[in-house]
Structure 1
């Protein structure tokens, strides 16, 4: 009898939508933290492939004018990693105006394969301070054979373009909008990164990876210039400075 009544009462409660209260244990909580710290990286950054910059696959560029030149010793955190040397080939003496073009940049990849790409300059900003930087170039003197100058000769850098590591979240620096016409002793702007931009590794390329032998670096020699049967050369000084720079740049 009592069993029947009990079952009926439970059934009635369910029919009426009534439920018995259930005791809930209190929730216990505690916060912990997670953090990571970065510091400026003062290690050297090796040259990358100008066609496809990948820090996991550095390359060894070949200097056409000094094949045995030692590796660049520049360390970070703000470093000038590489700058192409230009070779305009062997040419016959002439009395007419002539324009000659630099050979493409040769380099060897990690598998020992030698290939070519555009001439380029590479910089790395691992400072972590987002101050920005300026890359410039200065032709130190006339092209000479150590005795005589090649009067009126002009080196011009055409089609400057920026190449960065694929997928980077940094804002790209800006290259010079016009041709870079070199003048003895004059600092010329190549690439600039404003504050909060240009972090990581960036390349200024002259020409395209699809046209590695294009005419992006030229040497004009007037026909009236006296030419001796000799090799003429000059030094190009590439300079990477944190913004602001104290030297006017044209």
Structure 2
């Protein structure tokens, strides 16, 4: 009879010990740590190929102008020259001349932390005649048709900025919006006005209307001023 009581006492002791262990296993302790990464906008965005914006492009190698090399969260990266060639001065009527550029494009980059509307405006300055150093081509109008908008990261939804047809009068006091974004989208954006890359046809996207009485001898040059502005919604 004593042997049975001894065994029972041992089993009860084991049960109590296991039960106590089970209670301590349910206790928890927590703490916090951090994961950190920093992005900067200290370097100018890469100029991309308007034919394939996922690839870099060297416009200088193609004889185009130097990129702006601007840095910051909202930048104008590249703006095109327009070349309308050499022509015999007309003494009988005005004429519209098409650009000869094969690969003109505009590039901007939005890397802002806070998204808001932005606008790109362009203004055509007064023409200056190399022969006289005087103002020339009064009343000339530069027309740029709506281009092809592309994203360097492949965005294709409705968040892409929109472009429109513009007509710029030489010497106008204010600029005209050529590209705008309703809310801002993180990407490098290109507006492309492709010309005839394999032939000799002029670029139908870009034209210059020159009045008859201004077509005098000389090389006439005007500055295009491109301005991108962050607009708080």
Taking structure 2 as the reference length, what is the TM-score of the superposition? 0.73
RMSD: 3.3
Is 1:133 equivalent to 2:118 in the alignment?
Answer: yes
How many angstroms does 1:228 deviate by? Answer: 2.4
Contact 1:156/1:218 (8 A) holds in 2? yes
- Please point out which of 208, 218, 229 is paired with 1:219: 208
1:138-181 Cα shifts (integer Å, max 9, x gaps): 112245442241133211101323111243488211222xx200
Larger % of helix: which? Answer: 2
Partner of 1:185: 173
Aligned length: 203
Contact 2:126 2:135 in 1 (8 A): no
After superposition, residues 163-182 of structure 1 pair within 5 angstroms as 163-168=150-155, 171-176=159-164, 179-182=165-168
Instruction: Find the counterpart in structure 1 of residue 94 from structure 2.
Output: 97
Residue 199 of structure 1: how far off its partner (Å) = 1.5
Please list every run of 5 or more consecutive structure 2 residues that lacks an aligned counterpart in the other structure. Answer: 1-18
Alignment of 1:154-165 (within 5 A): 154-165=141-152
| Equivalent-residue separation in structure 2 for 1:70 and 1:203 (angstroms) | 16
Instruction: Answer 1 or 2: which has greater strand percent.
Output: 2
Instruction: Note the 1:20-169 alignment, pairs <5 A.
Output: 35-54=35-54, 57-62=55-60, 70-95=66-91, 96-105=93-102, 117=103, 119-142=104-127, 144-145=129-130, 146-168=133-155
Identify the residue that residue 111 of structure 1 maps to in structure 2: none
Provide closer, same or farther for how the CA distance between residues 85 and 216 of structure 1 changes in structure 2, counting only shifts above 3 A.
same
TM-score (norm 1): 0.68
> Cα gap change, 1:71/1:123 in structure 2, threshold over 3 Å: closer, same or farther?
closer
Residue 123 of structure 2 contacts residue 225 of structure 2 at CA under 8 Å; is this kept in 1? Answer: yes
- Give the conservation status (yes or no) of the 8 Å contact 2:80–2:106: yes
- CA pair 218-80 structure 1, distance change in 2 beyond 3 A: same
Using the alignment, how far apart are the partners of 1:210 and 1:70 within structure 2? 21
Mapped partners of 1:217, 1:98: distance in 2: 14
Residue of structure 2 in register with 1:13 after alignment: none
> Residues of 2 paired with 1:32 and 1:104: CA distance?
59
**Cα drift, residue 236 of structure 1:** 0.5
Kept after mapping to 2: 8 A contact 1:125/1:199: yes
Unaligned 5+ runs, structure 1:
1-22, 106-116, 246-250
1:239 aligns with 2:227: yes
CA gap 1:185/1:144 in 2 versus in 1, 3 angstroms: farther
